[in-house]
Amino acid sequence: MRIVRTIADLRALLRPLRAEGKRIGFVPTMGFLHEGHGTLIRQSAARCDATIVSIFLNPTQFGPGEDLASYPRDLEKDQNLCLEAGAGVLFLPEVSEIYPTGFQTHVEPGRLAEPLCGRFRPGHFRGVATVVAKLFNMVQPDLAFFGQKDFQQTVVIRRMARDLNMPVDIVVVPTVREADGLALSSRNAYLDEDARRRALCISQGLLAAKAAFDAGEHAAPRLIEIARDLLAGVDSIQYLELVDTQNLEPLTGQVDRTAALCAAAYVGRTRLIDNVLLAPSAADSGLVLNGNHPNA
């Protein structure tokens, strides 16, 4: 595995691969990698000839008072995970490499960035879309892999790729969970034993609603209520919403199309997000997870 820190070195490494017609897979991350990231990298390695992983703690997607300064880091462990999962190139740019002096051009996502996390993290998806667009321009991947864990992010990125005619296929990988259901997250490192126990309420609530849905309960208010009852163990629920996966608009009646039940909650000072997909038929679920042909 090659480690590069500059865009010039990255491009020099990728040029011959592209000339040989190799299929390039890309996994953007913010580091402190876990098996969720590992799964994305493995999927890319399985489907592509070369897998590029970036680790970049992107300052523009953090708001004031958020955890940019305290975000966990362990570069040595990250390198080993990338290597073991099959990455060929690890891109580790400095902030000044990505945002040189004078930087002033951004990607402004539209309505899809407004609800859910967008409501509580103003500017977050602008920061995400901008850095992902820049990384796509640097790597020029054929496929890029994102986790369903950050559901709204996948919707915003997929829309951006379509709207800006980026020749990349966005692959969304199902959320990887601990054996007890907790969604893997770099931010789980903030949780002590007691907080982790309370954090488990989030996945328990969402998965209970999904089980009820699969057992035939399709009324949106009831599904939200089932999740909310179990989520009561967290310190505060920032949002708990059932939305249409296409436009992120709230579903209030019967769930008759693929929906996402999305939650953000605080356990102590740690903000965690999670979601489950509710698909009226298996075929719909497959569409959400795999289908993306932005330029079709």
Is residue 274 within the footprint of ligand AMP (CB under 6 A)? no
Stretch of 129-137, 181-189, 190-198, 261-269 lying at the interface with ligand AMP (CB under 6 A)? 181-189
Residue 256: CB partners within 8 Å, gap ≥ 6? 218, 280
Pick between residue 78 and residue 220 the one whose CB is nearest to ligand AMP.
Answer: 78
Q: How far is the CB of 155 from ligand AMP (least distance, A)?
A: 12
Contacts (CB under 6 A) with ligand AMP, residues 188-247: none
Stretch that binds ligand AMP, among 63-71, 176-184, 203-211, 254-262 (CB under 6 A): 176-184
Count, residues near ligand AMP per rule CB under 6 A: 17
Is 150 a binding residue for ligand AMP by CB under 6 A? The answer is: yes
Site string for ligand AMP, 10-29 (x = CB under 6 A): -------------------x
Structure tokens at 220: 């949106």
CB of 86 to ligand AMP, least distance (A): 15
C-beta closer to ligand AMP: residue 123 or 280: 123
Question: Which residue is catalytic, options 37, 106, 218, 293?
Answer: 37
Q: Among this protein's residues, is 37 annotated catalytic?
A: yes
Q: Are 32 and 71 in contact (CB under 8 A)?
A: yes
Helix (H, G, I), strand (E, B) or coil at 281: coil
Long-range contacts of residues 216-222, Cβ cutoff 8 Å, at least 24 apart: 218/254, 218/255, 218/256, 218/280, 219/253, 219/254, 219/255, 220/251, 220/252, 220/253, 220/254, 220/255, 220/259, 221/252
Rule CB under 6 A: say whether 141 interacts with ligand AMP.
no
DSSP state of 247: T
- Cβ proximity to ligand AMP: between 36 and 109 the closer is 36
Strand partners of residue 51: 25
At 84, the amino acid letter reads E
Q: Is 40 left (phi over 0), alpha (psi -120 to 50) or beta?
A: alpha
CB atoms within 10 A of CB 296: 6
Residues that bind ligand AMP (CB under 6 A): 29-30, 36-37, 39-40, 146-147, 149-150, 173, 175-176, 183-186
